[in-house]
């Protein structure tokens, strides 16, 4: 995996944030098909998320939403961990989709950025200040359909482009076992630090974490907890009520749930 200078990263993200009239990417259809073939069924995905949510992840121990979308930003699936859709924060459904879209939109075949990595750069005075306003959510997609369908196979977002940018923990790009960028995953419903931890574990369980490089520890897209000033790719620490210390769990993710194809 390769390391990337901060200046090069900032320039790359700014280019991605702009518009392009370039040719259509011919690999997109195969990427979309590969993602669909790499995912479990809706019920199996929900079961995986529920199992991970019950582990020691720090935070509040709350129920979660997760959204997966493809490289073109189309939502593929939306699940939640509770028995009912109201068991987790209703607002976190769209936030999970924003996170998935952000990680997909600002990652590349050779370089991954998590939403946690973007926090510092978008603060006032940061090199990417205003990025969070650049690709707004489509409200017709986010809030269309029947509320009772949210988090089911009939979720109105599925098959549509949601948009949105979110710049705190919980969003990760999805990479196939041969290193192709297939889309994004977003998790929301707890503290942002715990959201990142659960997203990381879920991506690992799906075998979609062949991350090519990043700004985090071990050249990954892992969260970087701020010790003092926030001036690079850091993310603030959070608070814990449930089992586990999120700082220890988060820092150890590249070892406990290493990126790369499962053996």
Following DSSP, what letter does each residue of 39-58 receive, concatenated? Answer: S--HHHHHHHHHHHHTS---
pTM of the model: 0.88
pLDDT classification of 242: cutoffs 50, 70, 90: confident
Percentage, residues of the chain above pLDDT 90:
78
Angle in degrees, 0-180, between the axes of helices 192-205 and 42-53, rounded to the nearest 10: 130
Q: Is the pLDDT of residue 175 over 60?
A: yes
Which domains are seen in the chain, by residue range?
Answer: 27-255 (3.30.450.150)
**Could you give the C-alpha distances from 76 to 159, 164, 262, in angstroms and in order?**
6, 16, 23
* pLDDT class of 243 with cuts at 50, 70, 90: confident
Percent of the chain with pLDDT over 70: 87
Residue of 171, 162, 49 whose CA lies nearest to 100 = 171
The pLDDT of residue 4 is: 45
Q: Name, in order, each residue with C-beta under 8 angstroms of 119's C-beta and a sequence gap of 6 or more.
A: 167, 168, 169, 230, 233, 234, 235, 236
146, pLDDT greater than 90: yes
Asked whether the beta carbons of 189 and 174 are under 8 A apart, the reply is no
Q: Which residues pair with 211 in a beta bridge?
A: none
Look at residue 174 and tell me whether its pLDDT is greater than 50.
yes
Phi, psi of 219, rounded to the nearest 5 degrees: 60, 40
pLDDT at 112: 97
Q: 33-68 pLDDT, tens per residue? A: 689 889 999 999 999 999 999 999 999 999 999 999
- Sheet of strand 181-188: strand arrangement: 75-80, 65-70, 181-188, 171-175
**Predicted confidence (pLDDT) at residue 116 exceeds the cutoff of 50:** yes
What does the pLDDT read at residue 15? Answer: 39
d(CA 137, CA 55): 31
Residue labelled with tokens 């969260």? 223
pLDDT at 8: 43
Query: Is the confidence at residue 73, as pLDDT, over 70?
Result: yes
| Pair 187, 122: CB distance under 8 Å | no
Lowest mean pLDDT, pick from 59-63, 73-77, 85-89, 130-134: 130-134
Partnered with residue 3 across adjacent β-strands are: none
Give yes or no for residue 23 having a pLDDT over 90.
no
Residue of 93, 42, 39 lying closest to 63 (CA atoms): 93
Per-residue pLDDT, averaged over 142-170, amounts to 97
Is the pLDDT reported for residue 25 higher than 80? no
Q: What integer is the mean pLDDT of 102-123?
A: 96
pLDDT tops 60 at residue 7: no
Mean pLDDT of the chain: 89
Averaged pLDDT for residues 141-154: 97
- pLDDT, residue 228, reads 76
């Amino acid at each position: 995996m390769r390391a990337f200078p901060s200046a090069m990263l900032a320039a790359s993200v700014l280019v991605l944030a702009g518009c392009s009239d370039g040719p259509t990417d011919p690999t997109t259809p195969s990427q979309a098909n590969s993602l669909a073939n790499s995912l479990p069924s809706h019920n199996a995905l929900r079961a995986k998320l529920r199992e991970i949510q019950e582990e020691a992840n720090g935070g509040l121990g709350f129920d979660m939403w997760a959204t997966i979308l493809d490289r073109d930003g189309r939502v593929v699936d939306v699940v939640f961990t509770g028995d009912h859709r109201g068991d987790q924060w209703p607002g976190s459904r769209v936030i999970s989709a924003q996170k998935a879209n952000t990680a997909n939109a600002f990652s590349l075949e050779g370089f991954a950025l998590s939403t946690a990595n973007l926090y510092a750069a978008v603060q006032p005075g940061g090199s990417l200040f205003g990025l969070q306003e650049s690709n707004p959510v489509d409200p017709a997609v986010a809030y269309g359909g029947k509320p009772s369908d949210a988090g089911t196979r009939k979720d109105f977002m599925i098959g549509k482009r949601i948009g949105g940018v979110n710049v705190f923990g919980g969003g990760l790009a999805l990479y196939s076992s041969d290193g192709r960028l297939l889309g994004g995953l977003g998790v929301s419903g707890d503290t942002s630090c715990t959201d990142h931890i659960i997203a990381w574990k879920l991506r690992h369980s799906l075998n979609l974490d062949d991350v090519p490089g990043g700004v985090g520890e071990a050249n990954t897209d892992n969260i970087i907890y701020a010790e003092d000033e926030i001036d690079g790719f850091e993310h603030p620490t959070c608070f814990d009520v449930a089992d586990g210390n999120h700082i220890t769990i988060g820092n150890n993710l590249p070892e406990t749930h290493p990126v790369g194809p499962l053996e």
